[in-house]
Structure 1
Amino acid sequence: MKTVHDIRRSNARKLRDGVGGNSSFATMIDREPTQTSRFM
């Protein structure tokens, strides 16, 4: 069974892939790309 953290990570990855990559996703959530890559 997936934990809530696994589900959130999976959802964040889907969002990232939907907007065109890590840099675009980071810009949309007002974070640095390095921060987003750490929790993915």
Structure 2
Amino acid sequence: MAAPAIETSGLDVGYPGRHLPVTVISGLELTVEAGTFLS
């Protein structure tokens, strides 16, 4: 359940910041942490 949510966020962040892979990684980490807290 968390996998698709993280994937969607990664793609969303990847489009505008695809030239900055760091942004994608940070976004994924933040999404994982947020998901854990919400869960």
Normalising by structure 1, we get a TM-score of: 0.44
- Larger relative CO (CA 8 A, sep 6+): 1 or 2? 2
